[in-house]
Structure formats: C-alpha cells, structure tokens
Amino acid sequence: MTSVASTPANPAHDSAFLRAARGEEVPHTPVWFMRQAGRSLPEYLRVREGVAMLDACMDPELVVEITMQPVRRYGVDAAIFFSDIVLPLKAVGVDLDIVPGVGPVVAEPVRTLADVERIPDLTPEHVGFITEAVRGLVGELGATPLIGFAGAPFTVASYLVEGGPSKEHAKTKAMMFGAPEVWDALMRKIGAMAASYLEVQVAAGASAVQLFDSWAGALTPADYAEHVMPHSTTVLERAGALGVPRIHFGVGTANLLDLMGEAGADVVGVDWRTPLERAIPLVGGRGVQGNLDPTLVFAPTEVMTARAAEVIEAGRAARGHIFNLGHGVIPSTDPDQLARLTEFVQGYPLEQR
Ligand code: 1CP
C-alpha cells in the first residue's frame, strides 16, 4: 500500500523537509521542533484552558488548531500532529490519563500475559477522530508537510508496565529479562498498534512518520538488539510499505544509533549529547535529525545561533539533515527565541564551499 502522500501529487512533495528526508538537495536546511506545539505557546495555553489533554487530542478541531499554531508562528518546515504516544492505547479502551505536571498514568499496569491479551488490537474505527484531524490538517497545511508519529514498543511498554513515568524503567526491564514470553507478547501487541496507528495517519495524508523510542537509551546495545529492535523493525517495515520517510528518535542513544538506523529508519534522530560528527558515520548513510541542546534557547541569541551554525555545518556530511532540538521544547522556552532560531536556520547559506 503506497499513499498519495508518497507521490509527487502531494503538494508538500518538494518541500525542504521531504527533500532532506529523501537525501536530496535542499534550498535551506529544514527545521522543526519536537514539542513545537504545547506549553511554551500562550495561544496553546489559551485554547487548552479547561480542556483535559486527552480530550484535546480527541477533538479534531482542537488538534488542527494546536498543530497549526507553531506553523503560523514560526513558519517551520514541518508540522507534527498534535497527540501523544499513549493516545492509541486510550482509543482502544486502556484506562489511562495524562496528568498535568506528571504525564501518562495507567490505572492497571500490565504485568501478566492475561493483561497483555486484554488489550484490544487497534482498528481504523477506533481512531476516526485522527483520520478527520489529519485530513483537516493537510488541507490547511498545503505545501507544509505533516509528520505523523507513534511511540515505539519499548517506550510505550515502559508506561504500561510501570504505570506512569519512570527514570529507571526497572519493572519494564524486569519483565524483559525475567518473563520473555510476556514481554514478547506485549511488544507484538503494541508494535502492531503503533504500525496500524501510523497507517491511519498516512492514509489520511501525513507525509512522513516519526517513531519515538524516547527511553531506548536505558538499554545496552545487546539488550536493545535482542528484545526491542525486532519489534521496532516490524513497525518501521510496515511504515516503509506506505512509501513515506521514517524518522527514528530516542534520547541518550549514542550507543544505539547504528542499530536504530538498521531497524529501518530513513533518518535517525540524535539527541544533543552526541555531536552530529560522531553520529553521522554511525547511521550508515542515512539522514540525521537534530540536535541543538534545548537549553541553548535560554542563552543569548548570538550564543544560540553560533551553536546552531555548528550543528548545520556538521549536518552537511549526512545524506540529509533536518534541524531540530536534541529533545522536546522546554515548556518555559521563549517562543521569540524559537522564531529567531527558525529564521537563522532557514536563512543559513548552504551554497558556498
Ligand atoms: O509538538 C507537538 O505538537 C508535540 C505533540 C506531542 C508528542 C510528539 C505530545 C504532546 N506528546 C508527544 C510524544 C510523547 N509523549 C513522547 C515522545 C516524545 C518525547 O520524548 O518527548 C513521550 C515520552 C510522551 C509521554 C508524555 N506525555 C510525557 C513525558 C512523561 C515522562 O515520562 O517524562 C508527558 C509530560 C506527556 C503529556 C504531554 N504530551 C504532549 C503535551 C503537550 C503534554 C503535556 C500535557 C499538557 O499540556 O497538558
């Protein structure tokens, strides 16, 4: 199954973002920011007043508005669908909430095979509001591409098994090491869910997908390769069949960048701890995305832009470079700094040399 989004009929086909993702020449380095929508924007806080996070994610009109806010404000080269990695679980009926100041909290954490088997498989009917929101968005976005996304099996599993955010992911890894058959079943279940969720978004018009394995950096390369990578590979293979570029991102993944590329990414997202000079040789001829330290926007503008220039220069050695922060926008970020950063990256001359 290929989609219109993967063909020249897509108005965003020749955008700098999609050109970079395909490894083609670009007029400027494309830029967007993980978590570009959200609490750093006063217009976001206004529309979210009195609306719970998950209710906002399930309201197509609000999703369109919130997704468009950073596109209007910054003129970034891509939009990212406003949702959350736990949304597909919520859509199939898992009892969970996104608690302000905390994050996703799961009422009955998954511990046994029976718990895994109780989670329904995702069908497009579960997420009709996603289809509606994506269709609305691609209409408004025109030549600006929309990135669809899903949480990767390990990162989503960590919320399901721990019951909420965690630093050590100890219960999750205890299941991985101690109950491999339960682990395998859980990874298959949420891997299939992630792939189906991405298929829905691309079928509705998303031009690219990003798989967030934010917490994969908690794993050794051997454990990642054995217990996690095969499941992320399955998700990325199903996304690849749609014909759109795939970005694969995690935090603290210096030791995993080669494997995250091999899992089937076209572009590997790099956090700020690993300089692109080091990351690029590891990702095996793939593109890279990243990776300015998100705290640099709190520095004087000239300091921030000087560091951004270093990132752009380093990125020129890659098969394609998409500029981003090394992780999400920090909620107390001054939006005017992100506006200046966007302008700087888009205006940075690439032709000389
Ligand atoms: O730019 C955008 O529109 C961002 C949309 C977006 C995305 C891509 C949100 C909205 N969440 C996500 C993905 C997501 N959710 C990830 C992967 C990306 C990353 O690493 O940052 C993860 C790990 C989550 C889980 C999650 N949801 C957390 C982290 C908790 C932890 O373990 O530390 C939190 C705080 C949430 C809630 C959430 N999701 C999104 C927003 C704006 C919020 C804040 C809630 C609110 O505004 O009420």
ipTM, 2 decimals? 0.91
Q: Is 104 in the pocket of ligand 1 (CB under 6 A)?
A: yes
Q: Is 72 annotated as a binding residue?
A: no
Q: Is residue 2 pLDDT above 90, yes or no?
A: no
Cβ of residue 88 lying under 6 Å from some atom of ligand 1: no
For ligand 1, atom 39, name the residue with the nearest CA.
84
Expressed in percent and rounded to 5, the helix, strand and coil fractions of the chain are 50, 10, 40
Q: What is the CATH number of the domain that holds 11?
A: 3.20.20.210
Question: Does some domain include residue 330?
Answer: yes
Q: Does residue 325 fall inside a structural domain? A: yes
Q: Is the CB of 214 under 6 A from ligand 1?
A: yes
Q: Name the pLDDT band for 352 (thresholds 50, 70, 90).
A: low
Residue 152: domain span: 4-347
Task: Identify which of 51, 80, 82, 85 to mutate to test ligand 1's pocket (most ligand atoms within 8 A of the CB).
Answer: 85
DSSP, collapsed to helix, strand or coil, labels residue 250 as coil
- Residue 142's pLDDT is 96
328 CB less than 6 Å from ligand 1? yes
Q: What is the mean pLDDT of the chain?
A: 97
Query: Which residues form the catalytic set?
Result: 35, 39, 48, 84, 159
Q: How many domains does the chain have?
A: 1
Q: Which of 32, 33, 35 to mutate to test the pocket of ligand 1 (most atoms within 8 A of CB)?
A: 35
Q: Measuring CA to CA, which residue among 247, 244, 291 is closest to residue 266?
A: 247
Task: Determine the average pLDDT of the residues in 227-238.
Answer: 98
pLDDT at position 3:
81
d(CA 192, CA 347): 41
37 is in an annotated binding site: yes
Helices 335-347 & 60-74 angle (0-180, nearest 10)? 60
What band does 5 get if pLDDT is binned at 50, 70 and 90? Answer: confident
Report whether 17 contacts 145 (CB < 8 A). yes
Q: Is residue 194 part of a domain?
A: yes
Identify the DSSP state of 226.
I
Report pLDDT digits (tens) over 135-189. 999 999 999 999 999 999 999 999 999 999 999 999 999 999 999 999 999 999 9
Q: Is the distance from CB of 289 to CB of 249 less than 8 angstroms? A: yes
CB 227 within 8 A of CB 176: yes
Could you tell me if residue 352 is inside a domain? no
Q: How far does the centroid of ligand 1 lie from the alpha carbon of residue 1, in Å?
A: 30
Kindly list the distances between the CA atom of residue 267 and the CA atoms of 167, 224, 229, in Å, as whole numbers in the listed order: 27, 19, 16
Place of tokens 């670009």: 26
The predicted pLDDT at position 6 comes to 87
pLDDT at 340 over 70: yes
Please give the C-alpha separations between residue 337 and each of 15, 69, 349, in angstroms, as whole numbers. 24, 16, 20
Please determine, for residue 109, whether its predicted confidence score (pLDDT) is greater than 70. Answer: yes
Confidence (pLDDT) at 183:
98
Structure tokens at 201: 């978004």
Whether 353 shows a pLDDT value over 70: the answer reads no
Nearest ligand 1 atom to alpha carbon 34: 1
280 has a pLDDT exceeding 80: yes
Question: Is the minimum distance from the CB of 205 to ligand 1 under 6 angstroms?
Answer: no
283-309 pLDDT, tens digit each: 999 999 999 999 999 999 999 999 999
How remote is the C-alpha of 43 from its chain's centroid? 22
Q: Does a structural domain hold residue 353?
A: no
Residues in the chain: 353
Residue 323 burial (CB < 10 Å; 0-12/13-18/19+)?
A: buried
pLDDT digits (tens, 9 = 90+) for 43-56: 999 999 999 999 99
202 domain-assigned: yes
Probe target for ligand 1 pocket from 33, 34, 63, 84, with the most ligand atoms within 8 Å of CB: 84
Q: Is 135 annotated as a binding residue?
A: no
Residue 119 lies in a domain: yes
- Residues 53-105 have pLDDT tens digits of 999 999 999 999 999 999 999 999 999 999 999 999 999 999 999 999 999 99
